[in-house]
Structure 1
Amino acid sequence: MTETAPLAGTGAAARTREPALHEQRTPSRATGTPPPDRGLLRGLLRTARPKQWVKNVLVIAAPAAAGQLFTTRALTQLALVFTLFTACAAAVYLINDARDAEADRAHPTKRHRPVAAGQVPVPVAYAVGGALAVLAPAAAAWLSTPLVAALLTAYLGMQLAYCVSLKHVLVVDLVVVTTGFLMRAMVGGLALGIPLSRWFLITTGFGALFMVSAKRYSEAVQMAGKAGATRALLTEYTTGYLRFVWQLAAGVAVLGYCLWALEEGGLPHTSVLPWRQLSVVAFVLAILRYAVFADRGTAGEPEDVVLSDRALALIGLVWLAMYGLAVANW
């Protein structure tokens, strides 16, 4: 009996240590922390800014305006260019965050970005961004048209130049961001060989400038008198100037849309109501509603403004319905 007691104790101790050893071997299950590779993939995805992908829906703008949206070829090509434009935008975000990692670590909000926080190593961000920047235009040249590949290459070059230096140049920074929106609206038409009308380009371009300058104005208003502005260039703009820009852009966008509606409305049509002219009302209301947020200094990301305001979203849906009826000539 006395000889078996230590053995029993040893067995009990071994049994009590076994779960502890098992827990040490599988820390991810015990703590709920994801494995490093999953954390890296999530970090890359966050750096690609999924919330910003909604902007790329603009690729359907030209085909929708021409009434050539619902065909097999159109849907296939638009899905392709949406994916390729998203890849190009992700490449720019990755390279930009890798380049600004040190500065972002000192920022109260940007320090939480995956690259700045160390979730995505800087070399990995550069490598993935560079790979996407090369593969997206190459895929466009192979699967779409040379014009689409050229536009994506121009977009990448312009956006990377913006990350390096153009974002520090007055007015040019507004033009570059606006041109990015305009390129999104153009690429669908180029993929399908649809001619782009002057009114389409004017309305889309100045509508984009309206939203971009309204966002800059809101940032300037919110950061007035505070240290560590989100953009160094904001200290060189005045709120009065930015207000002038978004008001001018809104006016030109409305004028361009009205001229388009009146010009096309003079042509023979068989629709029950003049939907093209009536869509002007919804378009102007949308601009005026958006201007409320711009004037308050709360017009941040355009997609956040639209999705967070039910009235603006409803007006947008009404405009979309009228526009669709006008294109379909119903």
Structure 2
Amino acid sequence: MESPQNEAHSTQANFITLLFLQLRPKQWTKNLLVFAALIFSNETFSFQALCRSILGFFLFCFIAGCVYILNDYVDRDADRKHPTKKFRPMASGALNPNLALSFGVVLLLGSLIVSYLLNPLLVLLLLLYFVLNVAYSFKLKHVVIIDVMVIAAGFVFRAIAGGLVINVPFTPWFLICTMLLSLFLAISKRRHELLLLESSKGTHRKVLESYSPALLDQLNSIVTTATIISYSLFTFTSGNTIHLMWTIPIVIYGIFRYLYLIHMEDKGGSPEKILIEDKHMLVTVILYVISVVVILEFL
């Protein structure tokens, strides 16, 4: 029989695990964009800048986690009726909702305090990100076009935050590229959801009733073209070496590969999942990062 001390320790460990899962660590790959400032910065790479970027990465993970906590707290009754969401910590009853909400408040305040120490402007950015995502969870995700633009805005905030934590500016072209690529991913996600649930699209996401495959394909064509052109211009106008132009074919292949996965394999609902599962995309991203680092450091 397990001793009371071991049982208490096991319960505490289980509680911590549930809180960690509540923060949805599978979504954390989105926050890797924070490191873009470190990679593309004209400043000399330093260990201090790396540490600040890592801290910025976790701050975004925690702020996003607070949004998930609030969202799951409000939707816990509805989630219990969902085939997959019912297994979430609060919906399943494994995690006390009030304790989770209290943890979220403490985590939010703590993250904001740390962000202020890094850069006072970072506090405003994280607060805006939090408010915008809460608004998205409760209202904006049901507004056609606005829903995908809010998702794209979240990625732009990540890119800006990466610059704030190491105190370096971004070129407008880089932010435009980030916004367009984010729109591409958001539109692709909506297309995947629409085709997957076409027979009952209104019962999954109300906003899907306002979309059609033809519309989303047209939007993606516009965004894809704009993304490639914008990135190409960025490589020449960023203030870095023009040798960044050699990464243009890698970017084009990555976008084309993603389009292939969307149209031929009916994927695109989860970008972070594609990155892990599709070897071509994973190799492309790794090759791109290595190429950029080598070019900026040695050419």
Aligned residue identity for 2:246: L
Question: For residues 188 and 318 of structure 1, what CA distance do their matches in structure 2 show?
Answer: 21
Q: Which residue of 2 aligns with 1:205?
A: 179
Q: Which residue of 2 aligns with 1:43?
A: 18
Question: Deviation digits for residues 191-250 of structure 1, max 9, x if unmatched?
Answer: 222111011011111111111111111011111103774423223322222222222222
Partner SS for 1:225: helix
107 and 33 in structure 1: CA distance in 2 versus 1, 3 angstrom threshold: farther
In the alignment, structure 2 segments of 5+ residues that lack a partner are none
TM-score, structure 2 normalization: 0.91
Q: Which residue of 2 aligns with 1:60?
A: 35
State how 1:39-188 maps to structure 2 within 5 Å. Answer: 39-68=14-43, 70-141=45-116, 143-188=117-162
Question: For residues 230 and 43 of structure 1, what CA distance do their matches in structure 2 show?
Answer: 26
Is residue 2:284 matched to residue 1:315?
yes
Q: CA deviation at 1:35?
A: 4.0
Q: CA deviation at 1:188?
A: 1.3
Question: For residues 323 and 315 of structure 1, what CA distance do their matches in structure 2 show?
Answer: 12
**Contact 1:155 1:183 (8 Å CA) reproduced:** yes
Q: Which residue of 2 aligns with 1:280?
A: 248
Alignment match of 2:270 (pick from 301, 320, 330): 301
Q: CA deviation at 1:310?
A: 1.0
**Contact 1:275 1:322 (8 Å CA) reproduced:** no
Partner SS for 2:231: helix
264 and 57 in structure 1: CA distance in 2 versus 1, 3 angstrom threshold: closer
User: What is the aligned-residue RMSD (CA, Å)?
Assistant: 2.4
State how 1:249-288 maps to structure 2 within 5 Å. Answer: 249-263=223-237, 275-288=243-256
**Contact 1:39 1:119 (8 Å CA) reproduced:** no
**Contact 1:147 1:191 (8 Å CA) reproduced:** no
Aligned residue identity for 2:137: C
Aligned residue identity for 1:328: E
Is residue 2:259 matched to residue 1:291?
yes
TM-score, structure 1 normalization: 0.83
For structure 1, which segment, 161-170 or 180-189, has the greater mean C-alpha deviation from structure 2 after superposition? Answer: 161-170
Question: For residues 31 and 209 of structure 2, what CA distance do their matches in structure 1 show?
Answer: 30
State how 1:208-247 maps to structure 2 within 5 Å. Answer: 208-226=182-200, 229-247=203-221
Question: For residues 216 and 26 of structure 1, what CA distance do their matches in structure 2 show?
Answer: 51
Computing the radius of gyration from Cα coordinates, the structure with the larger value is 1
**Contact 2:52 2:165 (8 Å CA) reproduced:** yes
Question: For residues 227 and 212 of structure 1, what CA distance do their matches in structure 2 show?
Answer: 17
In the alignment, structure 1 segments of 5+ residues that lack a partner are 1-22
How many residue pairs were aligned?
298
Aligned residue identity for 1:302: P
Aligned residue identity for 1:303: E
Question: For residues 201 and 51 of structure 1, what CA distance do their matches in structure 2 show?
Answer: 25
**Contact 1:147 1:190 (8 Å CA) reproduced:** yes
**Contact 1:88 1:136 (8 Å CA) reproduced:** yes
**Contact 2:38 2:50 (8 Å CA) reproduced:** no
189 and 103 in structure 1: CA distance in 2 versus 1, 3 angstrom threshold: same
Question: For residues 35 and 96 of structure 1, what CA distance do their matches in structure 2 show?
Answer: 28
